[in-house]
């Protein structure tokens, strides 16, 4: 398995501002993923972040809105930029280890 932490665990932000979410894993992993889970919905992949390369974004998600950094093999950040109430969601970091994906505790974001 994997031990994953995220910061912050929750935040309330004003529209138009940005929030950076941090994800830390207990040991090195090649692949990290960022998901969004809107209320009552399943998980939607935002992007895949591999160390040393640009993040790969899924359809409907763009780098200007969700810039991602992956400076090393245990850490990644996701920024939610120019937020609107529609960005209110849970944001989840995930890592793959031995072919299986494990999730962090999530960041609950509310945009007012």
Partner 1 sequence: QKEVEQNSGPLSVPEGAIASLNCTYSDRGSQSFFWYRQYSGKSPELIMSIYSNGDKEDGRFTAQLNKASQYVSLLIRDSQPSDSATYLCAVKMIKAAGNKLTFGGGTRVLVKP
100 belongs to the binding site for partner 1 (CB under 8 A):
yes
With respect to partner 1, which residue has the nearer C-beta, 2 or 13?
Answer: 2
Q: Which of 42, 54, 109, 111 binds partner 1 (CB under 8 A)?
A: 42
14 belongs to the binding site for partner 1 (CB under 8 A):
no
52 belongs to the binding site for partner 1 (CB under 8 A):
no
What would you report as the CA-atom Rg of the chain, rounded to the nearest whole angstrom? 13
Give 55's DSSP letter. Answer: P
Residues with Cβ within 8 Å of 1's Cβ and at least 6 positions away in sequence, in order, are: 97, 102
Please give the residue ranges that form the binding site for partner 1 (CB under 8 A): 1, 31, 33, 41-43, 45, 48, 56, 58, 90, 92, 96, 99-106
């Amino acid at each position: 398995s994997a031990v994953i932490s995220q910061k912050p665990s929750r935040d309330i932000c004003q529209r138009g501002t940005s929030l950076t979410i941090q994800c830390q894993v207990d040991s090195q992993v090649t692949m990290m993923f960022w998901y969004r889970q809107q209320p009552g919905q399943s998980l939607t992949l935002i992007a895949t972040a591999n160390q040393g390369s640009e993040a790969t974004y899924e359809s409907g998600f763009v780098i200007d809105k969700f810039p991602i950094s992956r400076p090393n093999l245990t850490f990644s950040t996701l920024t939610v930029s120019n937020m609107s109430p529609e960005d209110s969601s849970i944001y989840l970091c995930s890592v793959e280890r031995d072919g299986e994906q494990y999730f962090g505790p999530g960041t609950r974001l509310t945009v007012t």
